[in-house]
Structure 1
Amino acid sequence: MPYEPYLPATDMPRFVRELAEFVGFDETEVATVRRTAPLVLTREAALTAALYEHFLKFPASARFFLGEDGEPDRARVERRRHSLGRWLRETAEAALTHEHAYYLLTIGLSHSHRPQGPVVPAHFMVGAMSLTQTALVDAFATELAPAEALAASRAWNKLLLIHLAALLLGYLPARPS
């Protein structure tokens, strides 16, 4: 059957399904993500706090979280942490469903087409995903036997990069792929 080009954002389920197949994110890895989800979710508060504190260390990323007085807007940071926690909880389900695929695109669009303030540059999305991957690998190495830590790291990394690809579609001009 020949490949039929399409606009990925018009068929997000196909996009994430094809990417999952391409990177080898299969049912075994779905099961690994779900099995290790409790370990990840017990760290949700610490992970989201660390990520936003990291953002606040750098003027280029801190500017998205500052109030008019130039100080961190803690209420805004808490709202963003809550949103990140929701994404992490949904990610832990490892469900690449129609709804979840469009949820990821919506997140990308909300960062790339903000109604107020500057657009969040795509490289910060990539950096945030890298920080998340690193935190998860560290957690797995601390809590799991080496073989299980490796399997968990591989599965979560594949899933997070599928998510990153979907998020970045919100930054790209529409072109058939």
Structure 2
Amino acid sequence: AGTRLTDVAEYAELQAPAIYYYYASREDLIEAVMFRGMSDLRIHLQQELDALPPDTTPMDRLLSAVAVHLRHGLELSDYARAAIRNSAQIPERLRARQKKELAAYNRIWQRLLAAAVADGQVRDDLDPRLAQRLIIGALNWSAEWWDPRRHSVDILVVNAQAFVRHSLAPVAKPNKRKPRPTNRLDSR
């Protein structure tokens, strides 16, 4: 949000005016970074899902998506981290391409949840659309508080997967014990 072009130029090992050779304005640069972040994340997720064995359960596919989202956003892509952290802070006029990518990304998650629901791996008292938003919101928020000095991404992924699995899993129905038949002699 408060990044200056001189900061970007220094990071890219360029003189600040050289950035204008590639981007007409600071806003164009921001839009390109945000689009690239969402696009890369969507493409990476789809590639990882496509690489899973065909017999992978819908829940395991969903948990793979959790891992991809966290690893890509926290370890692999500064673009994705920028898109996740700053998407709500950029002006509406800069969001058009990013919104299309976000919609495509959300469709992948919708299909994952729909498959898990169809397979009976999701509680029937949950709205899958709300569950999806809650999951992605929680995963995105980790970019704000996760500190690699405190614990690894591996630990974060395992915890997030357990949280998602147990939050979505059908609730075990309590065993209703049948009342024992009473013996007429007992009723005296």
Please report the TM-score for the alignment, with normalisation by the length of structure 1: 0.29
The higher-RCO structure (CA 8 Å, 6+ apart) is: 1
Please report the TM-score for the alignment, with normalisation by the length of structure 2: 0.28
